[in-house]
């Protein structure tokens, strides 16, 4: 089969690789019909090379048709149309029972000290072959895959794999009061969808902050007030003016480690890319390699007693966090990988009718062939041609 593989920093390829097969009774094989590039895939493209091997199959936002199931899989059968969540979870352990599927005790990568295994996401999360391919082996298929109806195009359901539950969790963790105010830092796919979810859930005023005009316009079209960080002389002051002088009730950091304006973190990331992998692994595991401007801005912006929801990915172990500010302002912070299955019952009703309140049908900005993946990654990384969400078709 053809698959998108990691070949080095800022280099992916489309290669012929062996077809996957059933290895465990709880496995399934899915023929992929659509698979998206996630913003966190760019972390692999740019930063997390030390935790990848050449030829690793990328991707964790797929859907398709079940081709084969193991003997213990009863919930889906060949021919079913399914979305595959990005985290791999068993559904029956203590963590899954708490709605913390991203911490599944059955698939935790204990040798790395990390949570549940993820598709296509480095040795840190199990080095499981990903979904940017023609076929995908799905472990824990007795629980994970989400069966969806025939009829609507893939885009109606594809984003259940990651974007929708991740944005939903970001908004839930932000705990915005009805009619309250929320700032979303970063309007990539997750920030964009967080704006939509927050407004749908009853936030009174949502302010989106970014520096890419096309992203700002998408958020504005859904009802957010938008601010271009490159055009604001006093971003903090402008947001306080929009929030009764005290700051928003909550801030979602949807930027994470790739904030554009933090030279120290950028230098550490570049150092990690230049040294041998074994050295780089230790640098990234034990040193602060994040650009923290977005997180520091979130702490400055949020009102006293407010909440910060961190959904952007961070990877450093010794990042300096202003604990005095957190304590003094009595800020609450919640964060973590999305627990996809936890939010399914909340999201599905919004996808099941003729209406499209979250705009999922038109959320993707580009649909390209799987063979175009190298150009797609380059375009997405450079934020060219209005690329916000790219879907690949095998």
Per-run averaged pLDDT (10 residues), the chain, 394 residues: 96 98 98 96 85 96 98 98 98 98 98 96 96 98 98 97 98 97 96 98 97 96 96 95 97 77 44 49 52 85 97 72 88 96 97 94 98 97 94 98
Beta strands in 277-338 (DSSP E): 307-310, 332-335
Q: Give the per-residue pLDDT at 263.
A: 43
Q: Give the per-residue pLDDT at 313.
A: 81
Is 183 in contact with 176 (CB distance < 8 Å)? Answer: no
Alpha-carbon distance of 66 to 79, in angstroms, equals: 5
Q: Give the per-residue pLDDT at 318.
A: 56
Alpha-carbon distance of 374 to 209, in angstroms, equals: 29
Task: From residue 362, give the alpha-carbon distance in Å to each of 210, 247, 308, 365.
Answer: 21, 32, 29, 7
User: Does residue 208 sit in helix, strand or coil?
Assistant: strand
Q: How many CB atoms lie within 10 A of CB 129?
A: 22
Q: Give the per-residue pLDDT at 279.
A: 46
DSSP state of 376: H
Q: Give the per-residue pLDDT at 259.
A: 41
Task: From residue 277, give the alpha-carbon distance in Å to each of 272, 281, 283, 285.
Answer: 8, 6, 10, 12
In DSSP terms, 36 is beta-bridged to 391
Q: Give the per-residue pLDDT at 265.
A: 43
pTM, full prediction: 0.91
Q: What six digits make up the tokens of 320?
A: 């300096």
């Amino acid at each position: 089969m053809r698959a998108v593989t990691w070949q080095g920093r800022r280099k992916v390829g489309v290669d012929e690789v062996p077809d996957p097969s059933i290895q465990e009774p709880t496995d399934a094989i899915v023929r992929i019909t659509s698979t998206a590039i996630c913003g966190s895939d760019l972390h692999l493209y740019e930063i997390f090379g030390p935790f990848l091997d050449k030829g690793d199959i990328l991707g964790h936002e797929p859907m398709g048709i079940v081709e084969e199931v193991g003997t213990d899989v009863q919930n889906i059968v060949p021919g079913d149309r399914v979305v595959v969540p990005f985290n791999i979870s068993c559904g029956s352990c203590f963590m899954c029972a708490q709605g913390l599927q991203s911490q599944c005790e059955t698939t935790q990568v204990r040798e790395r000290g990390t949570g549940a295994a993820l598709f296509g996401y480095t040795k840190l999360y199990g080095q499981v072959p990903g979904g940017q391919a023609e076929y995908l082996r799905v472990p824990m298929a007795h629980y994970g895959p989400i069966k969806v109806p025939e009829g609507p195009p893939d885009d109606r359901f594809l984003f259940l794999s990651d974007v929708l539950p991740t944005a939903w969790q970001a908004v839930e963790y932000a705990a915005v009061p009805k009619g309250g105010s929320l700032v979303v830092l970063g309007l990539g796919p997750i920030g964009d969808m967080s704006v939509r979810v927050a407004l749908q859930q009853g936030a009174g005023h949502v302010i989106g902050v970014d520096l890419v005009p096309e992203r700002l316009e998408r958020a504005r079209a859904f009802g957010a007030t938008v601010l271009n960080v490159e055009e604001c002389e006093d971003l903090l002051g402008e947001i306080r003016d929009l929030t009764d002088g005290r700051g928003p009730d909550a801030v979602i950091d949807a930027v994470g480690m790739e904030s554009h304006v933090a030279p120290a973190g950028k230098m550490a990331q570049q150092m990690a890319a230049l040294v041998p992998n074994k050295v780089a692994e230790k640098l990234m595991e034990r040193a602060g390699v994040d650009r923290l401007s977005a997180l520091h801005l979130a702490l400055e912006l949020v009102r006293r007693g407010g909440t910060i929801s961190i959904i952007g990915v961070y990877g450093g172990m010794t990042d300096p966090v202003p604990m005095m500010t957190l304590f003094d302002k009595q800020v609450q912070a919640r964060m973590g990988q999305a627990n996809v299955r936890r939010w399914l019952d909340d999201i599905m009703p919004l996808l099941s009718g003729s209406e499209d309140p979250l705009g999922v049908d038109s959320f993707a900005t580009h649909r390209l062939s799987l063979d175009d993946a190298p150009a797609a990654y380059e375009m997405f990384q450079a934020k060219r041609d209005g690329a916000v969400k790219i879907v690949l078709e095998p």
